[in-house]
Amino acid sequence: MARAGVLREIGRPFSIEEVELLAPAAGRVIVRTHASPFCSTDVKNWKGQLYKIPPTILGHASIGEVVEVGPGAPAALVGRRVVVPGTPECGACYYCSIGEPWQCGELFDLGGIYPDVARGADGALISCAGCVGGYAELMSISANQVFPIDSDLPSDVLSMLGCGVSTGVGSVVNIAGLRPGESVAIVGAGHLGLWMLQAARAFGAGRIFVIEPHAGRRAIAERLGADLVLDGVDGEATVARVQEATGGRGVDIALEAAGPTAAQRLAVRLTRRGGRTVLSGFEIGGADVALPQVETALQSRQILSTQNGHVHMRTDLQRYAGLLERGLLDPKPVYTRSYALDELDLARDRSGSLEDVCGIVVF
Ligand SMILES: [Zn+2]
Ligand SMILES: [Zn+2]
């Protein structure tokens, strides 16, 4: 038995209840959860904007200790502390075989129908949203989605590796391919944007611009060394200010970490001709982004996608933990506070109201 925060009805309080975890199926492991960040994506999931089907356990990135393995899963995992990121790496699907594990079929070929991992008191099966289900004391996870981590850092800090840190650092390094001295604009200074900002600084960005409507988050971006921080309320004025500060051209790299389609359009418009824009947010399933045609078709601007930072989980998570250990990335400005599982609704409310940059459910 394990306590879990179950999404039983869209838009209703989480049901904190005892569930019976199913015995691990072939290739799966049971992980005793240490910590799971409350990601802003789960506010959208709770509102029913991203097609999650109740009853389900949200929480798509986590950390914990492997306590049991199912048939065919490596027994050596038992007792290991593992990061459970948002993306598996099966090594065998089409995408893994061509070196693009961030589109691993073990997650993305499921069509949004996730494995059942537990049974509620009513006997009905409960799924794990995104194949993780981190808002529970125990998780049933594919052995392809747990990655051992060696670090002296506490689990609450390391829990941020699986979504925010990997997507933030990966967007800068793997996707935008930041070269020393390049100018960077970050649209949205939430938990993802602030990791992008720290990564841009750590990897040698030139001038860094941050566009963020929330005053408290703008203040954090300033403390983290952004050169110019704007509220972005007037899009045209924002583009003009950034162009003015970049020789009339626009930035080399724009990183969007906000969600609204208008923010994605703004990010593209902030770049110079030939600049790169990395889009990461999503507002609601089915939304379209309108982009300026000449600027994208004729002026060589590149529109890039990030999915979990295009990281190779087996190698990059340990490396990114090293960035935290050496202080190149600082968790403090991002990690607002911790929550007990019983406080899951409060964590959601404070994420939705932007009071928290990142709250972490600790067990
Ligand atoms: Zn997330
Ligand atoms: Zn795969």
Ion ligand 1 nearby residues (CB, 5 A)? 39, 41, 163
Interval between CA 191 and ligand 2 midpoint (Å): 27
Residues 149 and 168 in one domain: no
What is the pLDDT at residue 283?
84
Residues 177 and 242 in one domain: yes
pLDDT at 23 exceeding the cut of 90: yes
Antiparallel, parallel or unpaired: β 2-7 and 15-21: antiparallel
Does some domain include residue 323?
Answer: no
Interval between CA 326 and ligand 1 midpoint (Å): 24
Interval between CA 147 and ligand 2 midpoint (Å): 14
Report the SS3 class of residue 352: helix
For the stretch 231-289, pLDDT in tens is 999 999 999 999 999 999 999 999 999 999 999 999 999 999 999 999 999 888 889 99
Interval between CA 172 and ligand 1 midpoint (Å): 17
Does some domain include residue 76?
Answer: yes
What is the pLDDT at residue 210?
98
C-beta of residue 362 within 8 angstroms of C-beta of residue 225: no
Rg from Cα positions in the chain: 20
Ion ligand 2 nearby residues (CB, 5 A)? 90, 93, 96, 104
Does some domain include residue 136?
Answer: yes
C-beta of residue 218 within 8 angstroms of C-beta of residue 229: yes
Residues 223 and 87 in one domain: no
* CATH number of the domain encompassing residue 275: 3.40.50.720
What is the rounded CA–CA span in Å between residue 84 and residue 61? 6
> Which range marks the domain in which residue 152 is found?
2-162+332-362
Which ligand lies nearest the alpha carbon of 280? Answer: 1
Domain count, the chain: 2
Interval between CA 2 and ligand 2 midpoint (Å): 29
End-to-end CA distance of the chain: 15
Q: Comparing C-alpha atoms, which of 264, 278, 311 is closest to residue 169?
A: 311
Interval between CA 247 and ligand 1 midpoint (Å): 35
Does some domain include residue 315?
Answer: no
Interval between CA 215 and ligand 1 midpoint (Å): 22
For the stretch 40-92, pLDDT in tens is 999 999 999 988 999 999 999 999 999 999 999 999 999 999 999 999 999 99
Q: Across residues 144-158, what is the average pLDDT?
A: 98
